[in-house]
Structure 1
Amino acid sequence: MNIPTLENSRVKLSLLDLSNYKHLESIAQEKDLIFYSPSDISSPEKLRDYVQVAVDGYYHKTTIPFLVYDKEKQAYAGSTRFGLINWKNKVLHIGWTWIGHRFQGTGLNINMKLLMLEYAFETLEFEKVEFRIDERNKKSRRAVEKLGATLEGIFRKDTVMNDGFRRSTCCYGILKEEWNTIKENLQLLI
């Protein structure tokens, strides 16, 4: 896959790999940054393993991981990715998103998601984009709802967390036929 850099006036999303992930080491150490995720980025080694999984998925065409650069703050902010890419059915997930605390609530996330949704629907011509979020993660759920995604259901106790807790996962979706209206609404927010 030849993935372009996704970019607007606020954010730049470039392919995340083992040559650039070190930009994320200090952010990955922030307290409770990915509390609601079954992933672990708590040490440089675990962050490298996390990125290696993303890179492996990229080479198998099931993920496209991005390094997030905040152009306003002129700083690397975190990571996000397309995952569980189903090329046959034209469905993918946007997730594995984490940005440092100082970037949260600044409009960076909505700019990231607008770029990613545009790419998924307009370039890749996918039919559906999904988001999977821990039921307890009210902040992320509100952010995805603000995008215009619809709650389609909750998978009960479907994911084991690092501490052994079995979380329930909310499944949100945006359909291709909803995209133009959602895009217009998002452009008014940025």
Structure 2
Amino acid sequence: MKAPTLENHRVKLSLLDLSNYKHLLPIAQQPHLIQFSPSKIDTPDDLKAYVQTAVDGYKLKTTMPFIVFDKQTNTYAGSTRFGLINWKNKVLHIGWTWIGHEFQGSGLNAHMKYLMLQYAFEALEFDKVEFRIDERNLKSRKAVEKLGATLEGILRKDTLMLDGFKRSTCCYGILSEEWDGIKETVFAGF
């Protein structure tokens, strides 16, 4: 498995690994960046461990991590990945997404998701893309709903957070047969 470079006029997603993750250090240190995640990335060692986990998953063909480059500002913006890749059932997750506060609400995330959904459905020919989001993270939930994802259910108290809180996780999905309609409506003009 070789990670593709996904790119359009606004964003470039390329393989995140131990050779380029340091570009993300200033972003990862922003306060409250991943407050709804069970991961810790705000120190150089924590970010390196986070990336190492992604790299290990890439070697096992269960993840495909990307570093996000915003072409509009000509700067690195964050990270995202395909995860929990199930090659047999043709289902994967898009998640582990974080971009700096200055990029949020700029349209960058929509461009990232478009490229990732397009690759998952059109190149990999997967049947389903899932998103898992902390029930309290209304901003991310609204963003995924805006993409056309359907709330399929809530896993109650399924993930232990760093502060000891047991979060509930909203499960969203997009099916391959829904992709063309979403592409024509939500992503018209991309």
Alignment of 1:155-166 (within 5 A): 155-166=155-166
SS, match of residue 173 in structure 2: strand
Over the aligned positions, Cα root-mean-square deviation in angstroms equals 0.8
Once the two structures are superposed, residues 77-130 of structure 1 have per-residue CA deviations (whole angstroms, 9 ceiling, x without a partner) of 000000000000000000000000000000000000000000000000000000
1:24-173 superposed matches below 5 A:
24-173=24-173
Q: Match for 1:28: what amino acid?
A: A
- Aligned-pair CA distance for 1:188: 2.4
TM-score, normalised with respect to structure 2: 0.99
Task: Flag structure 1 segments of 5+ consecutive residues without an equivalent.
Answer: none
Q: What is the CA–CA distance in structure 2 between the aligned matches of 1:29 and 1:174, rounded to whole Å?
A: 32
Q: Deviations over 1:135-161 (max 9, x none)?
A: 000000000000000000000000000
Distance in 2 (CA, whole Å) between partners of 1:45 and 1:7 is 29
Q: CA deviation at 1:186?
A: 2.6
Output the CA distance in 1 between the equivalents of 2:48 and 2:189.
35
Residues 36 and 189 from structure 1, CA distance in 2 versus in 1: closer, same or farther, beyond 3 angstroms? farther
Amino acid at match of 1:109: N
Q: TM-score, normalised by structure 1?
A: 0.99
Code of the residue aligned with 2:99 in structure 1: it is: I
* Letter in structure 2 aligned against 1:124: L
Q: SS state of the match for residue 172, structure 2?
A: strand
One-letter amino acid of the counterpart of residue 39, structure 1:
S
The percent of aligned pairs where both chains have the same amino acid is 74
Amino acid at match of 1:154: I
- C-alpha deviation, 1:189, in angstroms: 6.5
User: 1:32-65, CA deviations, whole angstroms, 9 ceiling, x for partnerless residues?
Assistant: 0000000000100000000000000000000000
- The total of aligned residue pairs comes to 190
Q: Is the 8 A contact 1:114 1:186 kept in 2?
A: no
